[in-house]
């Protein structure tokens, strides 16, 4: 998969997040952290968000076909955003 295709995947994830209202108050979600998780060798992009109004947390999980098979030594990896 080329970089342009990867960027389209990531962009579509943020379109979904930005168009998903908080189920409690209807507010907008702000990205708190992003990372990868692996389940049976398949990678998923995990984006943890917080509602800007009420503080409700929600995790968005998207498949990540652009990531190669998981290293059995590392089953979960998250990078915190500043």
Query: pLDDT tens digits for the chain (82 residues)?
Result: 577 777 887 888 999 999 999 999 999 999 999 988 888 888 888 999 999 999 999 999 988 877 765 454 544 444 444 3
pTM of the prediction? 0.70
- The pLDDT value given to residue 15: 94
Tell me the domain boundaries of the chain: 3-69
- Domain 3-69 belongs to what topology? SH3 type barrels. (2.30.30)
Is the distance from CB of 21 to CB of 27 less than 8 angstroms? yes
CA distance 11 to 65: 14
């Amino acid at each position: 998969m080329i970089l342009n295709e990867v960027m389209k995947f990531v962009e579509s994830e943020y379109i979904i997040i930005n168009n998903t209202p908080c189920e409690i108050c209807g507010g907008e979600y702000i990205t708190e952290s992003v990372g990868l998780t692996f389940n049976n060798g398949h990678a998923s992009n995990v984006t943890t968000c917080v509602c800007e109004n009420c503080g409700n947390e929600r995790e968005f999980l998207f498949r990540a076909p652009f990531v190669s098979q998981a290293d059995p030594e590392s089953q979960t990896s998250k990078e915190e955003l500043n």
